[in-house]
């Protein structure tokens, strides 16, 4: 009886370690996104980008909607890290954010976003244009 209990405990421990090792192999990469945004109350955005992951480059497309106080148009170039991904397709998904900002001419942006797969984007960059916003926004990233 004691051997069966010890054997069962060992199996549970091995299963737990296997689960930990799966999440431990999550990796990261770099991302560059260029996003064009325009709106009046309801806004839209679209653009493209590149994910660099494990020595390869993957093309990305972006699109999204904004609702709230949105006025103007802008071009934003964001660069940064993506973490907690196991494969390139993990970066694809819907990211949501609430934010506020004002750009007249040139401004700075910084944002941290998470999608439903657990991918985390930590991005900083510049925004050029005339844009005032206090809104809820969603950004969808897809692989091209």
67-78 pLDDT per residue, tens: 777 788 989 899
User: Which pTM does this prediction carry?
Assistant: 0.75
Which residue has 């405990």 as its token pair?
9
Report how far residue 12's alpha carbon sits from residue 71's, in angstroms, rounded to the nearest whole number.
57
Q: Which 8-state DSSP code applies to residue 89?
A: G
- Give yes or no for residue 93 having a pLDDT over 80: yes
The CATH number for 26-143, chosen from 3.30.1890, 3.40.50, 2.40.128, 2.40.30, is 2.40.128
What are the sequence ranges of the domains in the chain?
26-143
Q: How many CB atoms lie within 10 A of CB 14?
A: 10
Exposure string (b/e) for 40-70, b if CB count within 10 Å is 16 or more?
Answer: eeebebebebbbebeeeebebebebbbebeb
* Of 117 and 16, more confident: 117
Check residue 25 and give its pLDDT. Answer: 67
Among 101, 112, 109, residue whose Cα is nearest residue 127: 109
83 bridge partner residues? 120
Convert the pLDDT of each residue in 18-68 to its tens digit. 444 444 568 999 999 999 989 888 888 999 999 999 999 999 999 988 777
């Amino acid at each position: 009886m004691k051997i069966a209990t010890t054997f069962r405990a060992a199996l549970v421990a091995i299963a737990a370690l296997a689960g930990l090792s799966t999440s431990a192999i999550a990796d990261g990469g770099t991302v560059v996104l260029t996003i064009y945004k325009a709106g009046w109350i309801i806004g839209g955005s679209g653009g493209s980008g590149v994910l660099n992951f494990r020595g390869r480059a993957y093309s990305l497309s972006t699109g999204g909607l904004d609702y709230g106080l949105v006025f103007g148009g802008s071009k934003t170039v964001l660069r940064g890290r993506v973490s907690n991904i196991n494969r390139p397709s993990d970066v694809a998904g819907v990211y949501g954010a609430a934010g506020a900002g004002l750009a007249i001419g040139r401004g700075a942006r910084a944002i941290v976003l998470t999608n439903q797969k657990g991918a985390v984007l930590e991005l900083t960059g510049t925004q050029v244009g005339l844009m005032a916003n206090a809104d809820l926004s969603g950004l969808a990233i897809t692989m091209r």
